[in-house]
Amino acid sequence: MASAPFDLSGKVALVTGGNGGIGKGIALGLGRAGANIAVVARNQDKSAGAVAELEALGIQAISIRCDVTDVDDVDTAVAACVERFGGLDIVVNNSGINVRKLPHELDLAEWQTVIDVNLTGVFLMSKAAYPEMVKRGGGKVINIGSMMSIFAHETLAPYAASKGGVVQFTKACASAWAKENIQVNTIMPGWIATDMTETLRINVPERYETIRARTPAQRWGRPDELAGTAVFLATSASDFVTGTAIPVDGGYSIQS
């Protein structure tokens, strides 16, 4: 008998950047739906805190140190998750960084670092997870895009390029892997209040307020508000949904 929609009992989810912000909000949501969680990130002190928070809710969770730009790290992380939980059903590619500069002020290393983490990291983790999902008879890959997947800003060239690339990579994987019952989708968060965006509120308060005013909901979002969409995309409720890019943005992207 098929599992009930929105039930992740017995499923295994690996969340990159799952130790804070949007990633932790999604990890908590998947865990509450029944999934076992592998928190994959570089900062292990921060990851230990996230795991403790998950375990306090009765969720089975582990922390795995990984640099998503390092193919050996990525392969090791997937292997460690499979060894601990017996398989892998869901990957959330959430790790991301940003450099705020005008395009002509960027040097190659800065450009490459953003592309490597935000786009190449998605490729490496998805590729490593693919054979494990095939073994399970299917799986779910959830890539985290951005408003910069569809918009642009003069100081966000590499970030926008990488997040636009995430949407296109998602479509390619969705087409390639449909026959293996692997659905691949993107969530495009709007402006979410996290540690990363807190610097914008402090340093450029007028930009922070402009974003709030443009958003029909008249506020910034919370990390936990991504969880419902992630749970939908991770469960059997979305088995006929693939290759999509879903904004979760309080209406920001519908404004002219």
* Residue positions annotated with a catalytic role: 159
Element (H, E) at 177: helix 157-177
Token pair in block for residue 158: 């590499």
Report how far residue 80's alpha carbon sits from residue 147's, in angstroms, rounded to the nearest whole number: 33
Q: How many CA atoms lie within 13 A of 157 on its CB side?
A: 12
Instruction: Please provide the distance, in angstroms rounded to a whole number, between the alpha carbons at the two ends of the chain.
Output: 46
Sign of the CA dihedral with 7 first, then 25, 64, and 55 last: negative
Which helix (H) or strand (E) covers residue 90, if one does? strand 90-93
User: How far from chain centre, in Å, is Cα 218?
Assistant: 24
Alpha helices in 86-156, H assignment, sequence order: 108-115, 121-135
**58 within 8 A of 31, measured Cβ to Cβ:** no
